């Protein structure tokens, strides 16, 4: 009998062990399904559309305007009379659509404290559905990790400084196509 009872105890133990492992696996699977990734938000939400025009203005009067022609070629409207560096324009377009929001702020904050009563920069985009969106960029945050920004009808936000600076770089260095100088061979 001792052998028979030992076998029954071992079988019951194995059944409990398998049940515990299955239960744990089931719980882990449910826990993974309930965890949702934080959705990244961007200052300028372009949705499913493409940017077909970009205008960036600085408070100092600097301005760059680019538009996509119907055949898909980018044209430098301002500064005028120059050939466009399409690679740099594509980079700027990508950056404009990826100005990631670090945080959203209370609406009771004074715009003057953030430099948004008279924004330092404003960015206008035209989407492929002809919708126009404008974003306004103010002061750096105290930690220098972002800029205060807003869009009409949207909450005040802090956007990633690195991304904004990368985009605004085309104001000081417009996307003008430069031709390599010909080398003189002697």
Encode pLDDT of 74-125 as tens digits: 887 887 777 778 888 888 888 788 888 888 887 677 778 888 888 889 898 8
Cα(22)–Cα(162) distance, integer angstroms: 47
Name the residue among 96, 99, 82 with its Cα closest to residue 175.
82
pTM of the model: 0.69
User: Which domains occur in the chain, in start order?
Assistant: 51-172 (2.60.40)
User: Cα-flanking dihedrals φ and ψ of residue 126, to 5°?
Assistant: -115, 130
Give alpha helix (H) positions in the chain: 2-34, 86-96, 161-172
Do 145 and 102 touch, CB atoms closer than 8 A? yes
């Amino acid at each position: 009998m001792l052998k028979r009872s030992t076998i029954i105890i071992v079988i019951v133990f194995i059944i409990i062990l398998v049940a515990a492992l299955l239960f744990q696996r089931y719980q882990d699977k449910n826990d993974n399904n309930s965890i949702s990734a934080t959705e990244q938000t961007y200052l300028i939400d372009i949705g499913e559309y493409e940017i077909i025009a970009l205008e960036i203005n600085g408070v100092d009067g600097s301005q760059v305007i680019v538009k996509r022609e119907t055949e898909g070629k980018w044209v430098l409207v301002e500064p005028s009379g120059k050939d466009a560096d399409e690679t740099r324009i594509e980079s700027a377009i990508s950056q404009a659509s990826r100005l990631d929001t670090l945080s959203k702020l209370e609406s009771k904050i004074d715009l003057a404290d953030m430099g948004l009563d008279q924004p330092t920069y404003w960015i206008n985009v035209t989407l492929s559905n002809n919708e126009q969106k404008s974003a306004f960029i103010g002061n750096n945050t105290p930690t220098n990790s972002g800029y205060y920004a807003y869009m009409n009808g949207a909450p005040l936000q802090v956007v990633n400084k690195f991304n904004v600076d990368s985009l605004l770089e085309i104001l000081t260095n417009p996307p003008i196509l430069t031709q390599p100088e010909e080398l003189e061979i002697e």
